Amino acid sequence: MKNLDKFIDDLRDNLGDNLVTVMAFGSMANVEEAKNNLNLMIVTNTLSAEDLYAISKPVQKWIKGKNPIPVIMNIEEWYSSFDVYAIEYADIKSNYRVWYGQDLAQHINVNKYYLRLQCESELKNLLLKYKNNFILNVKSAKYMKILLAQTIKTILVIFRSVLRLYDAEVPYRAVDIIEQASHYLTFNKVSMAKVAKVRYENDDYTKSELLFIEAEMLKDIQAILKQVDAMKF
């Protein structure tokens, strides 16, 4: 992880004692030889425009290495965001690695009320986007495949959160997450699993499958939203 070590050194050179922690999170967090696509959380004591300017070059270099832009916040923001970013914090707590500084993730406390509420909000946004893109791209197989790939990514985030609401095991593989979620939610798990296999396992749709699944996805999002809205935590 030479690139990460160099990035952290650059952050320390520019931020000094103001740098509280650098942690990796997400599916690549604990992969020893990950070279790119590593999600990072950077937390500082204070965060001014001058601080952002000071680390702009190292961050830009990090992004050029095909990594997502890091999440950067001060420590007050970190502790005050457990409610509005309940899904994100639950994901971080489930899979993270501290590369520098304090282990702030051990203090994460996600309230199930806020977790369910954010699931509902994300589903409503997803439904709106799906309907709009469906209208614009329904005659294009290419763009409908792109839409389904984007949609399944968000749905898996929701499914992981729903499993956490029920204190259930959260599998790693997408199709296993779907199977596990089907124990708590009603949806077409066969078509949902097909979308996941296309997105993550290099499968593909037949023409008839695509026409069926793109319509089924709309029904499923609507059904899942209704169920999540009715949950009580």
pLDDT higher than 70, residue 123: yes
| CATH architecture observed for domain 2-107 | 2-Layer Sandwich (3.30)
| Nearest to 205, CA basis, from 150, 160, 144, 136 | 144
Domain ranges of the chain: 2-107, 112-230
Q: Which pLDDT tens digit goes with each residue over 40-51?
A: 999 999 999 999
Residue with token string 């396992």: 201
**Nearest-angstrom CA–CA distance, 218 and 155:** 12
Using one digit for the tens of pLDDT, what is the confidence trace for 71-95? 999 999 999 999 999 999 999 999 9
Query: Phi and psi dihedrals of 64, rounded to 5?
Result: -60, -20
pLDDT level of residue 233 (50, 70, 90 thresholds): confident
